[in-house]
Structure 1
Amino acid sequence: MTTPARRRATIAASLPLLLLAGGCSYLSGESQGADPQSADCDAYEQWQGHDGTTVSIYASIRDQEAELLEESWSEFSSCTGIDIAYEGSGEFEAQIQVKVDGGNAPDLAFFPQPGLLARFAQSGDAIALPESVRANAESGWSEDWLNYATVDGELYGTPLGANVKSFVWYSPGLFSDNGYATPTTWDELIEISDAMVEDGIKPWCAGIESGDATGWPATDWVENIMLREHGPEVYDQWVDHEIPFDDPAVAEALDRVDSILRNPDYVNGGHGEVQSIATTSFQDAGTPILDRQCGMYLMGSFYAAQWPEGTTVAEDGDVYAFNLPPIQEEHGTPVLGGGEFIGAFADRPEVVAVQEYLSTVEYANSRASLGSWFSAHRDLDLDLLEAPTDRLGAETLRDSEAVFRFDGSDMMPASVGAGTFWRGMTNWINGDETEETLAYIEESWPSS
C-alpha cells in the first residue's frame, strides 16, 4: 500500500500556505529571491529563460515532507524564474481523476501507484516522456524501476523517492548479547526465531491495525514471501492476475506466513496472543523491541520515523534493520518496495524544464541532503544520507543482486489491493482458513 507517512494530516504552520479543498498548496519559486545571474545559478543555466512562468505539481506528499520537497527545488526555481506551485492532498488517488476529468489537470503529478499513472497513459491524458527526460531516466534507474512507468513501450514517468518494504527491524543489543548473527538466509532467520523462543523471547511482534486501511501490513508479508519463494516471474503473474489469487503458489506462500504470524510461540511479543495482531496498530507494533519483549518486526524503511523520540537508529544503536533474507538462492536478493513516479499532463517548455531537473542526480542529491529520503538512482551520493537506514535502503536497492518488485497491492485493482486483500488478511489473522481467505479474494477480482 501507499507509504503510511503520506497519510499524515497535520499541516506544518511554519510555511506560508494557501488551504485548498482536499489538500494544501505551497508557494515557492520567485519568492526565494535568488539572482539568476549569480554564480550560484550557473548549475541551472540550461533551464533558464522561463521567467514569470508557473508549473503546477500535485501529489500525496504533505506536511514536513512537503516542506522538504519545496526546499529541494527552491534554488532551481529561483534561478530559472519558474514558480513551482505545489499542492499535496490526502485524497490524491481520487482527486487526480477529478482534476483530469474536469479539465484542471496539474502540469506534473507524483504517482505513488504505477497502475494509476498507467491508467492515465492508456486514456491518452498523460504525456510520454520527452527524449531528454527519457535519457536521464534510462541512465539513472534500473530496468526494474522503469518498467513500472512503461506503457505499450513508451516511458511515461521518472522515479522520484523510494522506500524498502522488506526491512526487518531488530535490537542490535539483543542480538549481540544473545549471540544472534544477522541472518542472510531464510533458514538462518528461522534458526534465530527458534533460539529466541528457547531464550524466553517472542521472536516477532506484529500489528496490522491502520484505521480504514487495517490489514495492509499483512499483505506486505504475503508479497515478500511470494517474491522470495516463487521468484519475480511468478510474483508478476500473481500481481497481474495471470494466475488466480488462490493458486497453489499463493497458498504455499501464505502457509509460510502462517508459520510465523499465526505461530503462538513466535508472536506477538509485548502485545498479546496471535489475534492481538489485528488490533495492534502498525505504529505501535514494533516498539516492544526496545524493551526486548520481541526480537524482530517486518515493516518498511519509513518506520524509522515511528520510533520514540531519543531512539538511536543505527547499526550499533537501539534499533536497526536488515533486508528480509531470500528463501530460494536462485531468486537473487529480493527487495519489495515502493516510491513515486513523476508523470506529466502538459508539455510546455517550462514543464519540460522541471521534468528534466527532477530526473537528474543533482536533484536527487539536493533532496537527499535534506534528510528523511532516499532514491533508487544509480548515482545518488550515499554520503549525503545521514540516517543510517536511509543509506541501508539505498544500498539495498543498489545491490547488483537485488531483484526489486513494487508493492503488489498497489499494483492490483484498488477493489482488491486496497479492499479484499486487506480485509481478507485481517479475517485470516482472526482465524479464517487459508483456502477460505484466498478464495474470497479471488472471487472479488474484477472481471474486466
Structure 2
Amino acid sequence: MRGGGTLRIGAVTAVAVLMAAGCGGGSHTDIGPSHTPSAAGDGLSLPNLAGQKIEVAAVWTGPEQENFGKVLKEFEKRTGATVIFVPAQDPIVNFLGTKIAGGSPPDVALLPQVGAIRQAVAQKWLKPLGPEARAQLAKNYAKGWQDLGAVDGTPYGVYFKAANKSLVWYNTAAFENAGASEPKTWKEFLATADTISASGVTPVSVGGADGWTLTDWFENVYLSQAGPEKYDRLAKHTIPWTDPSVTRALTTLAELFGKPALLAGGTDGALQTEFPVSVTQTFTGGDRAKAAMVFEGDFSAVNIAQTGAEIGKDAKVFPFPAVGDGGTAPVVTGGDAAVALKDGRAAQALLTFLASPAAARIWAGEGGFLSPNKGLDKAAYPNDVQREIAAALIGAGDDFRFDMSDQMPQSFGGTPGKGEWKALQDFLKNPKDIAGTQARLEAEAAKAYKG
C-alpha cells in the first residue's frame, strides 16, 4: 500500500458466510436487456444510453463475476444501456494488448495492479477520467486512493474494489484441540505452529502454486519489519532487492518456509497448491483438516464458505502478526481500478457510476467486498466484522500502504512464472538461498524498471 503510514485493524473474530454460487463461462456474458432509465433518488446523474452497448473486461470469475454483474445490472436500469461482461485472462494487460491489436478493446476494464495502469497509460491505451467521474472521485475517495489511479497527476482509474490482504484464517477445532490461541507476534505465530504440529495437524497451508500469494507473505513481513519508508522505496526500486532489509525479511520467512513439516504437503505440496485449495483444505475435515491456518485476504471467506464451515464458529481470523522488535501488525491492501479504453460518454458514465456509493452499496450487501468509497454507508455491509474492516480502511484516510507487487511493472510484480512470482516460488523451494534469491530479484527488477 502506498501512503503515509500503516493501516491497522483490531482482532477480527468472524466474517459472515458469503455467496459462493458461480456463473457460467463463455467469451461474453450479457448482463441483461436494456431498461428505461430510472431515478434512484440518490442525486447521481447519469446520461440516457438507451440502445448503446458497453463491454467491460475483468479477470473476475465465479462469485466475484456474479456480484459485479448485479452492479452492472443497476447501471443498465439507470441508463438504458446494455452491458456485456468480457472475461479476461491474467495478466490482463496482455489480454488488453491483444484486444487492442485486433481493433476490439473493451470500453472499460478493471485493472488489479497500479503498475498495469502506468503501463497502459504509457502505451496510450487509456482515456483520462471525465469531469463527472472526477467529481465523484473527489467527493468519495481519500487523496491516496485518487493518486493510485492517476499518472503524472492525470486521473485515469477509479478504485472500485479493495482488499485487506493481511489476515490469517484458522480452523477453530484444530486450535482448540491443540490448546492454541491467536498469536500477535511472528515469534508467537511460529510457537503456535509448533504447538499445532505437536497435536498431529499440519499448521500452515501455503498456496505456493500462485506466486502472488508469496508476494503477499513477503510484503506483510517486510512492511512490519522494515517499516513504511523502506516499503515505499523498495516498491519504487529506489533501493535494490539486495538491500539488508530484504535479507532480514527473507530470513524471517525462511523460519517458516524452511521447515517443510510445518507446511501442508511439505515444500512440494505447497508449490503445487493453488490459492483456493490452500483455503479449502484448511477447513475441510474439521479438526482433521490438512492444515490449521491459511494466510490471505478477506476474500478468502468465499472459499471457506464453499467447504460448509461456518465462519465465526468453525473458521475465525486474526491479523497478520507483528514482526521484529517494535514492529506493528501490518495491513497490505490491494484493489481493482476501473479505467476507460474508449472515448465517449458511455464509458465515462460507467466510471462515474462505479465511483459512486450507489454502485459500491450493491456488492457490499452481497459480501466478499471492501470499498475505499468513503460515501458508502457502513450499514451496507452484511456483518459487524466487515463493517469494522471497512471503517478501518476509510478511517485511515491517506495513511495506508498498497500491495507492493501491484505497484511494480507487471513483468516483474504481476506475471505468472516470471519476475518476483517465480523468484519467490524458487525461494519457497530452497529458502536457504537467500543471497541467490535477492540477486535474482534485483536482476529481474532492474530489467523491468528499465523497460
TMscore range, shorter length: 0.7 to 0.9
Q: Which moved more, 1:186-195 or 1:58-67?
A: 186-195
Cα deviation digits, residues 61-113 of structure 1 (max 9, x gap)? 23443332222232332232223233222253312123334443332221112
Aligned twin of 2:89: 90
Q: Which moved more, 1:181-190 or 1:102-111?
A: 181-190
2:292 maps to 1:295: yes
Give the structure with the larger strand fraction. Answer: 1
Identify if the C-alpha distance between structure 1 residues 133 and 331 changes in structure 2 by more than 3 Å, giving closer, same or farther. Answer: farther
* 1:374 match: secondary structure: coil
1:65-84 matches, cutoff 5 A: 65-84=64-83
In 2, are the aligned partners of 1:28 and 1:70 still within 8 Å (CA)?
A: no
Alignment equivalent of 2:240, drawn from 240, 244, 268: 244
Give the stretch that moved more between structures: 52-61 or 383-392.
Answer: 383-392
Report if the CA contact (8 A) 2:23-2:63 is conserved. yes
Give the TM-score normalised by the residue count of structure 1: 0.81
1:258 equivalent in structure 2 = 254
Contact 1:133-1:356 at 8 Å conserved across structures: yes
Cα contact 2:178–2:195 (8 A) shared by 1: no
Change over 3 Å in CA distance of 1:275–1:106 after alignment to 2: closer
Indicate if the aligned counterparts of 2:127 and 2:156 stay in contact, CA closer than 8 A.
yes
- Classify 1:402/1:319 alpha carbon distance in 2 versus 1 (closer, same or farther; 3 Å): farther
For residues 358 and 325 of structure 2, the distance between their equivalents in structure 1, rounded to whole angstroms, comes to 36
1:396 to partner: Cα distance: 4.8
In structure 1, the residue matched to 2:348 is: 352
Q: Is the 8 A contact 1:332 1:402 kept in 2?
A: no
CA distance in structure 2 between the aligned counterparts of 1:247 and 1:442, rounded to whole angstroms: 10
> Who is 1:279 aligned against?
272
Aligned partners of 2:166 and 2:295 also within 8 Å: yes
Residue 360 of structure 1, CA deviation: 0.6
Q: Matches of 2:54 and 2:197 in 1, distance apart? A: 57
TM-score normalised according to structure 2 size: 0.81
- Residue-by-residue CA offset, 1:205-249 (whole Å, 9 max, x unaligned): 324124xxxx33222211111111112221222122211122211
Residues of 1 paired with 2:229 and 2:235: CA distance? Answer: 10
Q: Tell me by how many angstroms 1:439 deviates.
A: 0.9
Listed as ranges, the gaps of 5+ residues in structure 2 are 1-20
Give the paired residue count: 419
1:118-150 CA-partner distances (Å, limit 9, x unpaired): 222234332222233223223323333333212
Give the share of equivalent positions with the same residue, in percent: 26
CA RMSD of aligned residues (A): 3.2
Deviation readout 1:275-307 (Å, 9 max, x if unpaired)? 432233433334245325643221222222223
Higher relative contact order by CA 8 Å / sep ≥ 6: 1 or 2?
A: 2
SS of the residue aligned with 2:60?
Answer: coil
Q: 1:209 maps to which residue?
A: 209
Counterpart of 1:306 in structure 2: which amino acid? Answer: N
CA distance in 2, matches of 1:36, 1:163: 32
Q: Which residue of 2 aligns with 1:166?
A: 166
In structure 1, what is the equivalent of residue 51 of structure 2? 52
Report the Cα distance in structure 1 between the residues aligned to 2:399 and 2:325, rounded to whole angstroms: 12
Counterparts of 1:175 and 1:138 in 2: how far apart (Å)? 45
Report the CA distance between 1:151 and its aligned residue. 1.0
Instruction: For residue 47 of structure 1, give the secondary structure of its aligned residue in structure 2.
Output: coil
After TM superposition, give the deviation of residue 395 of structure 1 in Å: 4.5
Q: Compute the displacement of 1:55 (Å).
A: 3.1
CA change 1:308–1:248 in 2 (3 A) is: same
> CA 1:347/1:430 → structure 2, altered by over 3 Å: closer, same or farther?
closer
Partner of 1:6: none
Q: SS in structure 2 opposite 1:406?
A: coil
CA distance in 1, matches of 2:372, 2:295: 21
What is the 5 A alignment of 1:72-221? 72-90=71-89, 92-175=92-175, 180-196=180-196, 202-210=202-210, 215-221=211-217
Letter of the structure 1 residue corresponding to residue 271 of structure 2: A
Question: Whole-Å Cα distance in 1 between the matches of residues 383 and 72 of structure 2?
Answer: 21
Aligned counterparts of 1:280 and 1:74: Cα–Cα separation in 2: 35
- Residue equivalent to 1:335: 331
SS at match of 1:87: strand
Stretch of structure 1 that moved more, 163-172 or 181-190: 181-190
Moved more, 437-446 or 385-394: 385-394
Q: Cα deviation per residue 1:416-436 (whole Å; 9 max; x = unaligned)? A: 322132222222222251111
C-alpha contact (below 8 Å) 1:333/1:402 kept by paired residues? no
Change (3 A) 1:276 1:47: closer
Q: What per-residue deviation string (whole Å, max 9, x for no partner) do you get for residues 390-411 of structure 1?
A: 5565345345399543333333
